[in-house]
Amino acid sequence: MPNRDYHAHRKNYQLGELNDSFKDVNPFELFQQWMDDAFENNVPEPTAMTLATVDATQQPHARIVLLKAFDRDGFIFYTHYESAKGRELITSKRAAATFFWPELERQIRIEGIVEKINPNDSDRYFQSRPLDSQLSAYISKQSQVVDSREALEQRMLDAKKELAGKPIPRPDTWGGYRLVAKRFEFWQGRPNRLHDRLQFSVHTTDPQAWSCVRLSP
Ligand SMILES: Cc1cc2nc3c(=O)[nH]c(=O)nc-3n(C[C@H](O)[C@H](O)[C@H](O)COP(=O)(O)O)c2cc1C
């Protein structure tokens, strides 16, 4: 194993800034702008976000999922409702999502409440996926132990035979969640670790109204 000195790895961030005029923008518009920038700058997986959940013992768990849609009502991703995360979300109803776009020296954090999306919308997205992805969702019991790779592939072959020529039904246990944002943080790396951080919080009495503060880096 190479004897790397991680202390010596030090990047100075200098691509952008978030000046105080950004405090007046709407966080959804800023999110849209930054997501567009990520696509235009060829960030490899711009929609990949780390999704953090918490279990009944308060143990946090985090993993990547893909953002598939968003609007002012929330941020939509798809998963198995009976996976570890699915169960945690049903119980705690709380989640946090983080995007990191190194090419832009930017991070966005979103925190809020999670709800299942309408089953018709899950059906529509499920049917738009490539057939083998539908089949994989159909046979997978996400987060459960499987005996071997072969067992998994056999399940896929069996389902392929069983459903040959028929539409693949969306399992009730697979679908979308919407993360309804209560707080955003936009982080832009700046020289000498004096980064810009703008935190937007929704007003408790008016879900359309947001206020913004600058946080110390
Ligand atoms: C780039 C990337 C994209 C992923 N997208 C999804 C996704 O959209 N939905 C999903 O359920 N899992 C996705 N995964 C897999 C999850 O990270 C995770 O392994 C899986 O959902 C099981 O998590 P859990 O056991 O905590 O429920 C993705 C993983 C990677 C690395």
Whether 84 is in a domain gets the answer: yes
**What is d(CA 31, CA 216) in angstroms, rounded to the nearest whole number?**
21
C-beta of 177 in contact with ligand 1 (< 6 A): no
User: Sign (positive/negative) of CA torsion 126, 132, 135, 140?
Assistant: negative
Q: Locate 215 and state its tokens.
A: 């946080």
Region 69-79 average pLDDT: 98
Q: 59 by DSSP, 3-state: which?
A: coil
Q: 63 by DSSP, 3-state: which?
A: strand
**Minimum CA distance residue for ligand 1 atom 29:** 64
Region 156-171 average pLDDT: 95
Whether 142 is in a domain gets the answer: no
**Ligand 1 atom with least separation from CA of 63:** 17
Question: Mean pLDDT over all residues of the chain?
Answer: 97
Whether 137 is in a domain gets the answer: no
- CATH number for the domain harbouring residue 42: 2.30.110.10
Whether 113 is in a domain gets the answer: yes
Cα torsion 12, 15, 21, 27 to 10°: value is -100
Whether 191 is in a domain gets the answer: yes
* Domain encompassing residue 57: 16-130+172-214
At residue 88, the pLDDT reads 98
- C-alpha of residue 95 to centroid of ligand 1, in Å: 15
| Residues assigned a catalytic role | 193
Whether 8 is in a domain gets the answer: no
**What is the number of structural domains in the chain?**
1
C-beta of 94 in contact with ligand 1 (< 6 A): no
Per-residue pLDDT band for 1 (boundaries 50, 70, 90) equals confident
- C-alpha of residue 216 to centroid of ligand 1, in Å: 32
Q: Tell me the helix, strand and coil percentages in the chain, rounded to 5.
A: 30, 30, 35
**Minimum CA distance residue for ligand 1 atom 22:** 143
At residue 195, the pLDDT reads 97
pTM: 0.96
Q: Give per-residue pLDDT as tens, 21-71.
A: 999 999 999 999 999 999 999 999 999 999 999 999 999 999 999 999 999
At residue 2, the pLDDT reads 84
**What is d(CA 41, CA 160) in angstroms, rounded to the nearest whole number?**
39
